[in-house]
C-alpha cells in the first residue's frame, strides 16, 4: 500500500493542535479568516509563479523561491518558501504572518510549531543535496524580524515525532479531543474554531447534553451571531438568472428586473419556471453560494450545492451509527422531545392571559405528559405515536393561536396538505418547505449525507436527515412565522389563490412571507445548553455540528434544540 506523503506545513498544525491537523488534513475542512488571508498576502511574492524555482543573486546571497521537495524516506513533501545560499552554506527561510515570540531576555525567538516546520524543510534539503543543514531562518512579517533556528537533535526528534503523529491521526475514525484548558488560548483566531467547537465539545464531555437551569460560565461563541449576505428569492414565472461582471442579473422578457452584487448573496432560491444560466451556476459554485429549487407551489425539490465536504469519515460514521436501531432510537427521542417541548412552549405563549402562562391548558398538560413518556419509548413506532398525539393536541388548539379578526376568513380546523386546502395550511406547508431547504443546507455544510437519517428512515428519496433536524425547529421558526403574518395582518385574502382543491400564495403573498421568514431566522436566541446567543439560522448549523460531534464519538450525547 502506498502511504501518502505528509505536507510539511501539516507538521506545523499537528504540533500546534492535533485536532486542527485532523480537521484540516483528514476531514479536508479548510475555511479561511482574516489571519489566513493575511498569511496569503504575506506570501504573495514568495508564491509568485514567475519566480518559482528560479535562482537570483540578491546582495551577498543567492535565493531560490518556491522550491518543491519530497522524500519517500521521511514520508513528507513540501514547497520551501525560500532556499538561501550564503558563504557556501545552504539553508531554508520561511515567512510567517504573525509576530516573533520573546524569550526571558526579551529577544526574538520562534514558536515550537514554526520551528518543527522549518526543521522538516531542512531535512528535505539535506536529502536532496547530500549536505548537512545546521540552521535556518524564520521571518515574521508582523514584526519584520528574521530569527535564526538551529537544527539540534532535540528539534529533529520532535520533527520526526510530528511526522509519525500525522500518520497515526490519519487512520483514526474521529478527531482527538480539543486542547486542554491551559492551551485553549490557541483556539482564538483559529479559522477552524467554528467547525471544531472546542468549548462546546469539552463542555458536553463533562456535562450532560440537556438544557441548563443557569447560563454556563466561560463558553465563547465562535460561530458568528448572524448570517452575512442575503437570500435572493426568484419566483416570477418566465424569468431568468444570469451573470454580468460581479453581479447576478434577474431578467424577464429581455428586461432587467433585479441586479444584486455577488458578495451580498449567500443563497439563491428559485420557484417554478425560472431559468438559471450555466455561467451563473458556475459563478455560484465558485463563490460557494447554494441554489435551492422549489416548485411553483413551494415544494422543496433539491439544492445545487458546491462540491460536498471531503470529510468522508463523518459520512462513514453516519452510516454506521444510523444502521444501529438503538442509536437511531436514542437520537429520535432527542428530536421528538425537543419538538414536543417547543410545541408546548409556543402553545403556552399563544394562549396565556395576563394572569397565567397557559400551563394549565389541557393541551399543555397533555404535551407535558407526552414529553415524560418519550424516554420510555421502546421502539420507533412508539415515538411516532407520541409525536402524532402531540401534533393532534397542538394543532387542535392552533386556531386559538390566531387573533380573531372579523371577516378575515383565516380559520384553521385541521392540518391538511398535498395540496393544502386553505390559507393557514398553505402557509404552514410553505414554511416547512423553506425550513427543509435551510436544514438541507446546514447538514450539507457540516458534511453529512442529507438522505441518510435516523428518524425519517423509511422516506426513500427524501432528505431524511434534513427532515430530522427540521422537527426541532418547526414550531419556533415555521409556525411562528405563520402566526406573525396572520396575527399582524400582514396578509389578506387577496394574497392567496385557490385552484380546484388547493390553495397557495400569490407572488405578492410570497414576498411578504419571505420578509417575515428571513426576519424570524435573524432573531437572536439563547442556546439552551451553551448559554450564548445567536440567530436561528446559525443555530441550525450549531445543531448540525453537534450532531456530527456525537456521530463521530466526540461527545457522549446529542440534545435537541429547545426554547424556554
Cross-strand bridge partners of residue 69: 78
Q: Is residue 181 part of a domain?
A: no
pLDDT at 354 exceeding the cut of 70: no
Mean pLDDT of the chain: 82
The better pLDDT of the pair 49, 159 is held by 159
Same domain, 326 and 277: no
pLDDT at 35 exceeding the cut of 70: no
Domain that holds residue 20: 6-170
Question: What pLDDT, on the 0 to 100 scale, is given for residue 40?
Answer: 44
Distance of CA 437 to the CA centre of its chain: 14
Question: What pLDDT, on the 0 to 100 scale, is given for residue 338?
Answer: 92
Question: What pLDDT, on the 0 to 100 scale, is given for residue 219?
Answer: 62
The better pLDDT of the pair 357, 363 is held by 363
Q: Write the pLDDT tens digit of every residue in 380-437.
A: 888 889 988 998 998 888 888 888 766 566 777 788 877 888 888 888 988 998 899 8
Same domain, 265 and 383: no
* Residue whose C-alpha cell is 497515526: 168
Q: Is residue 304 part of a domain?
A: no
C-alpha cell at 137: 531562518
pLDDT band at 307 (very low <50, low <70, confident <90, very high): low
C-alpha cell at 488: 399582524
Same domain, 348 and 285: no
CATH of the domain at 35: 3.90.320.10
Same domain, 349 and 480: yes
pLDDT band at 8 (very low <50, low <70, confident <90, very high): very high
Rounded CA gap, 277 and 211, in Å? 46
Domain count of the fold of the chain: 3
Q: Write the pLDDT tens digit of every residue in 115-171.
A: 999 999 999 999 999 999 999 999 988 888 889 999 999 999 999 999 999 999 988
Mean pLDDT in residue range 301-318: 74
Nearest to 348, CA basis, from 298, 278, 385, 401 = 401
CATH of the domain at 271: 3.100.10.20
Same domain, 334 and 284: no
Is residue 103 exposed (0-12), middle (13-18) or buried (19+ Cβ within 10 Å)? Answer: exposed
E strand residue ranges, 429-531: 496-499, 502-505, 524-526
Same domain, 402 and 275: no
Question: What pLDDT, on the 0 to 100 scale, is given for residue 42?
Answer: 47
Same domain, 256 and 318: no
User: DSSP string of 96-165?
Assistant: ESS---B-TTS-B---HHHHHHHHHHHHHHHHHHSS---EEEEEETTTTEEEEEE--HHHHHHHHHHHHH
Question: What pLDDT, on the 0 to 100 scale, is given for residue 114?
Answer: 92
Q: Is the dihedral of CA 335, 338, 343, 344 positive or negative?
A: positive
Same domain, 87 and 140: yes
Question: What pLDDT, on the 0 to 100 scale, is given for residue 38?
Answer: 47
Same domain, 330 and 276: no
Q: Is residue 262 part of a domain?
A: yes
Q: Is the peptide bond before 254 cis (omega within 30 degrees of 0)?
A: no
* Residue whose C-alpha cell is 531554508: 92
Question: What pLDDT, on the 0 to 100 scale, is given for residue 476?
Answer: 93
Nearest to 233, CA basis, from 517, 512, 511, 519 = 511
Q: Is residue 544 part of a domain?
A: yes
Q: Is residue 29 part of a domain?
A: yes
Domain finish residue from 295, 326, 344? 295
Same domain, 356 and 284: no
Same domain, 128 and 31: yes
Domain finish residue from 137, 170, 203? 170
The H or E element containing residue 371 is: helix 362-373
Rounded CA gap, 432 and 438, in Å? 10
Same domain, 287 and 318: no
Q: Write the pLDDT tens digit of every residue in 86-98.
A: 888 999 999 887 7
> What whole-number percentage of the chain has pLDDT above 90?
25
pLDDT at 2 exceeding the cut of 70: no
Question: What pLDDT, on the 0 to 100 scale, is given for residue 228?
Answer: 57
Q: Write the pLDDT tens digit of every residue in 466-485.
A: 999 999 999 999 999 999 98
Question: What pLDDT, on the 0 to 100 scale, is given for residue 217?
Answer: 47
User: Residue 324, SS3?
Assistant: coil
CATH of the domain at 471: 1.20.120.920
Question: What pLDDT, on the 0 to 100 scale, is given for residue 226?
Answer: 52
Cross-strand bridge partners of residue 211: none
Question: What pLDDT, on the 0 to 100 scale, is given for residue 36?
Answer: 44
Rounded CA gap, 386 and 373, in Å? 8
Q: Write the pLDDT tens digit of every residue in 171-196.
A: 888 888 888 878 878 887 777 877 77
Strands of the sheet containing 300-304, edge to edge, are: 230-234, 265-271, 290-294, 300-304
Q: Is residue 418 part of a domain?
A: yes
Mean pLDDT in residue range 45-49: 53
Domain finish residue from 121, 148, 170? 170
Q: Write the pLDDT tens digit of every residue in 269-291.
A: 877 778 888 888 888 877 777 78
Residue 155 near residue 119 (C-beta atoms within 8 A)? yes
> What whole-number percentage of the chain has pLDDT above 70?
86
pLDDT band at 533 (very low <50, low <70, confident <90, very high): confident
Question: What pLDDT, on the 0 to 100 scale, is given for residue 149?
Answer: 92
Q: Is residue 208 part of a domain?
A: no
pLDDT at 253 exceeding the cut of 70: yes
The most confident of the ranges 35-44, 154-163, 215-224 is 154-163
Mean pLDDT in residue range 66-77: 91
Question: What pLDDT, on the 0 to 100 scale, is given for residue 34?
Answer: 43
Mean pLDDT in residue range 99-108: 86
Question: What pLDDT, on the 0 to 100 scale, is given for residue 143?
Answer: 83
Q: Is residue 1 part of a domain?
A: no
Mean pLDDT in residue range 39-53: 51
Amino acid at each position: 500500500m502506498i502511504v501518502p506523503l505528509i505536507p510539511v506545513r501539516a507538521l506545523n498544525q499537528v504540533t500546534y493542535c492535533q485536532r486542527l491537523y485532523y480537521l484540516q488534513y483528514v476531514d479536508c475542512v479548510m475555511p479561511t479568516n482574516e489571519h489566513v488571508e493575511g498569511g496569503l498576502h504575506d506570501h504573495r511574492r514568495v508564491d509568485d509563479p514567475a519566480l518559482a524555482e528560479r535562482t537570483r543573486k540578491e546582495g551577498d546571497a543567492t535565493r531560490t523561491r518556491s522550491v518543491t521537495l519530497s522524500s519517500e524516506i521521511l514520508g513528507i513533501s513540501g514547497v520551501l518558501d525560500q532556499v538561501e545560499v550564503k558563504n557556501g552554506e545552504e539553508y531554508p527561510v520561511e515567512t510567517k504572518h504573525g509576530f516573533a515570540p520573546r524569550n526571558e531576555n526579551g529577544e526574538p525567538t520562534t514558536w515550537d510549531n514554526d520551528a518543527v516546520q522549518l526543521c522538516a524543510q531542512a531535512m528535505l534539503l539535506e536529502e536532496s543535496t547530500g549536505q548537512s543543514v545546521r540552521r535556518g531562518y524564520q521571518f515574521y512579517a508582523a514584526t519584520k524580524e528574521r530569527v535564526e533556528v538551529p537544527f539540534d537533535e532535540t528539534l529533529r526528534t520532535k520533527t520526526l515525532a510530528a511526522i509519525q503523529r500525522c500518520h497515526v491521526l490519519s487512520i483514526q475514525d474521529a478527531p482527538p479531543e480539543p486542547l486542554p484548558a491551559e492551551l485553549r488560548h490557541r483556539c482564538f483566531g483559529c479559522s477552524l474554531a467554528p467547525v471544531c467547537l472546542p468549548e462546546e465539545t469539552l463542555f458536553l464531555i463533562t456535562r450532560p447534553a440537556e438544557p441548563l437551569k443557569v447560563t454556563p460560565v466561560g463558553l465563547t461563541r465562535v460561530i458568528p451571531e448572524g448570517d452575512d449576505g442575503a437570500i435572493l428569492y426568484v419566483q416570477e414565472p418566465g424569468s431568468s438568472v444570469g451573470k454580468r461582471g460581479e453581479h447576478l442579473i434577474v431578467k424577464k422578457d429581455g428586461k432587467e428586473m433585479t441586479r444584486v452584487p455577488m458578495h451580498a448573496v449567500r443563497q439563491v432560491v428559485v420557484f417554478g419556471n425560472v431559468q438559471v444560466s450555466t455561467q451563473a451556476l458556475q459563478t455560484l459554485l465558485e463563490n460557494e453560494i447554494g441554489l435551492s429549487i422549489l416548485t411553483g407551489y413551494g415544494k422543496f425539490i433539491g439544492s445545487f450545492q458546491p462540491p460536498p465536504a471531503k470529510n468522508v469519515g463523518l459520512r462513514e460514521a453516519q452510516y454506521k451509527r444510523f444502521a444501529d436501531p438503538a442509536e437511531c432510537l436514542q437520537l429520535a427521542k432527542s428530536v421528538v422531545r425537543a419538538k414536543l417541548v417547543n410545541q408546548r412552549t409556543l402553545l403556552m405563549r399563544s394562549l396565556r392571559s395576563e394572569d397565567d402562562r397557559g400551563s394549565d391548558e389541557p393541551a399543555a398538560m397533555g404535551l407535558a405528559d407526552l414529553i415524560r413518556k418519550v424516554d420510555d419509548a421502546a421502539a420507533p413506532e412508539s415515538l411516532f405515536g407520541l409525536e402524532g398525539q402531540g401534533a393532534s393536541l397542538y394543532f387542535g388548539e392552533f386556531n386559538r393561536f390566531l387573533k380573531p379578526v372579523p371577516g378575515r376568513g383565516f380559520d384553521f380546523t385541521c392540518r391538511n396538505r398535498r395540496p393544502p386546502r386553505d390559507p393557514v395550511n398553505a402557509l404552514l406547508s410553505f414554511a416547512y418547505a423553506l425550513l427543509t431547504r435551510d436544514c438541507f443546507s446546514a447538514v450539507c455544510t457540516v458534511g453529512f449525507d442529507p438522505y441518510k437519517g435516523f428518524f425519517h428512515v423509511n422516506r426513500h428519496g427524501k432528505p431524511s436527515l434534513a427532515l430530522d433536524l427540521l422537527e426541532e425547529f418547526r414550531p419556533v421558526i415555521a409556525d411562528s412565522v405563520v402566526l406573525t403574518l396572520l396575527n399582524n395582518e400582514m396578509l389578506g385574502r387577496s394574497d392567496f389563490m385557490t385552484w380546484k382543491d388547493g390553495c397557495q400564495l400569490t407572488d405578492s403573498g410570497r414576498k411578504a412571507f419571505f420578509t417575515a421568514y428571513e426576519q424570524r431566522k435573524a432573531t437572536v436566541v439563547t442556546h439552551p445548553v451553551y448559554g450564548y446567543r445567536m440567530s436561528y439560522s446559525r443555530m441550525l448549523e450549531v445543531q448540525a455540528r453537534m450532531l456530527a460531534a456525537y456521530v463521530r464519538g466526540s461527545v457522549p450525547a446529542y440534545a435537541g434544540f429547545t426554547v424556554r
